[in-house]
Homo-oligomer: A and B are copies of this chain.
Amino acid sequence: MPRVGVIGGGQLARMMVPEALELGIEIRVLAETVDSPAAIAATAVGDYRDEATVLAFARDVDVVTFDHEHVPQSVLRALEAAGVAVHPGPDALLYAQDKIMMRRRLQELGLPVPDWALISDAAALDAFLAEHGGVGVVKTARGGYDGKGVRVVRSAAEVDDWFAAMAAGDGPELLVEELVSFRRELAQLVARRPSGEVQAWPVVETIQKDGVCSEVLAPAPGSAGRIADVAEQIALDVAEGLGVTGVLAVELFETDDDRILVNELAMRPHNSGHWTQDGSTTSQFEQHLRAVLDLPLGATGTLADWSVMVNVLGGPTDGSALVDHYPAMLAQHPTAKMHAYGKSPRPGRKLGHVNVAGDDLDQIVYEARAAAAFFTTL
């Protein structure tokens, strides 16, 4: 039986487990803690930054893949040097780990990105702001996720702390991007095998609250035709150009002036693809396993006209658990598919999501939001 080793025991690793079981693939997880979401498949608990820990974990698996992009390049290179198959590989992951590298490479590939600049000091930032209407989005090159490491600023003083940390040598490099005036955000997921086969799901609309994904509509309403074609081609070009293996999520802006620009990349299953669990012939978690094992990819057709995913964020604040609210929620929403991550409630934390698929978009949006509202506190 082929063995996939997943570094990181979060909800993405957790949701690979059902697909591995059904495919008859053995899955092993290197988890951060003993009570991680993917604990059922954890064969090791340890620090993914520690080379010896990761090498020991990887010794008995056929391929290593990831729940997150935070494994250091030095550890990834050590894995490859030890003969371990790593998907996505370090050369690709570099672009998901470092936003400056990513922006440079996408520009080289001729892909559409917001205006941006490396900023080594406040003067460089002020110059960029002056050229872009007095506003910009400053990002740390490394370490950001779910809105962290991102600030919309109107003066360099608003990121004084980041400049200071960088100057002191204990903070990441910084870049600034134009504040894109966008109509909505989209995400395009594709999967790519080491031997080259690619498959794309339909482009989706993602709705963020406070920088965190809140809802996904699949496909993105009104996207059939130009938007779907452009988004898919961008993601395929990124996958090919960066040599991504496994699932690639490309977060996109649909601008007010009808351009599609690349915002961020993730090289793993992604929140914007959770709808595929109940809305596509092949879920992103199954596809990721197939891709990293270099198995033929599955069909990405939809099971209904529309799918909606709503995140369960925060959870009850009265000390109750998610499951305490199941009797009421499940009784009212028999078509809602609950996906819980086995985490305890905490404000803003992603605890799970609800998927609903159907032929009436308004109806399923209502169902998914109403179902998730049983658990969600922001």
Does A1 contact B303, Cβ atoms closer than 8 Å? Answer: no
Do A296 and B327 form a contact, CB below 8 Å, given A1-B321, A40-B40? yes
Pairwise interchain contact B21-A14, C-beta atoms closer than 8 A: yes
Q: How far is the CA of A330 from the CA of B281 in the complex (A)?
A: 13
- CB–CB B342/A1 < 8 A: yes
Q: Is the CB of B331 within 8 A of A24?
A: no
- Whether A85 sits at the interface, judged by CB under 8 Å, is no
Collect the chain B residues with CB atoms within 8 Å of residue A25's CB: 323
Q: B334–A297 contact, CB under 8 A? A: yes
B2, B304, B330, B339: the one contacting A323 at CB < 8 Å is B2
B18 touches A21 (CB 8 A): yes
Shortest C-beta distance, A291 to chain B (Å), equals 11
* Chain B residues near A323 (CB-CB < 8 A): 1-2, 24-25
Question: Which B residue's beta carbon lies closest to that of A341?
Answer: B24
- Are B22 and A18 in contact (CB-based, < 8 A)? yes
Interfacial residues of chain A within 293-338, with CB under 8 A of chain B in the complex = 295-299, 301, 303-304, 321-323, 326-327, 330-331, 334-335, 337-338
Q: A23-B338, A323-B25, A338-B24 are in contact. Are A330 and B2 (CB under 8 A)?
A: no
A119 at the interface (CB under 8 A from B): no
Distance A347 CA – B296 CA, assembled complex (angstroms): 27
User: Once the chains are docked, how many angstroms separate the CA of A357 from the CA of B303?
Assistant: 9
The reply on A352 being an interface residue by CB < 8 A is: yes
- Which residues of B have CB within 8 Å of A337? 22, 281
In the complex, the count of this chain's copies comes to 2
* A17 on the B face (CB < 8 A): yes
B residues in contact with A2, CB < 8 Å: 323
Which of B17, B281, B331, B341 sits near A335, CB closer than 8 Å?
Answer: B281
Assess whether B299 is in contact with A334, with CB atoms less than 8 Å apart. Answer: yes
Interface size on A, residues (CB 8 A): 43
B335 in contact with A299 (CB, 8 Å)? yes
A290 at interface, CB cutoff 8 A: yes
25 A-B pairs with CB atoms under 8 Å apart are A1-B321, A15-B22, A17-B18, A18-B19, A18-B21, A22-B337, A22-B338, A23-B340, A24-B322, A24-B338, A24-B340, A24-B341, A24-B352, A25-B323, A281-B334, A281-B337, A282-B334, A295-B326, A297-B330, A297-B334, A298-B334, A298-B335, A299-B334, A301-B335, A303-B303
In the complex formed, the residue of B with least CB distance to A199 is B334
A41 within 8 A of B: yes
Known contacts A18-B18, A295-B326; 8 further A-B pairs (Cβ under 8 A): A1-B323, A14-B21, A17-B18, A17-B21, A24-B322, A295-B327, A296-B334, A303-B303
- Roughly how many angstroms separate A288 CA and B139 CA in the complex, as a whole number? 48
Neighbour of A298 across the interface among B22, B290, B330, CB < 8 A: B330
Chain B residues with Cβ below 8 Å from A338 are 22-24
Q: Among B22, B322, B334, which residue has its beta carbon within 8 angstroms of that of A340? A: B22
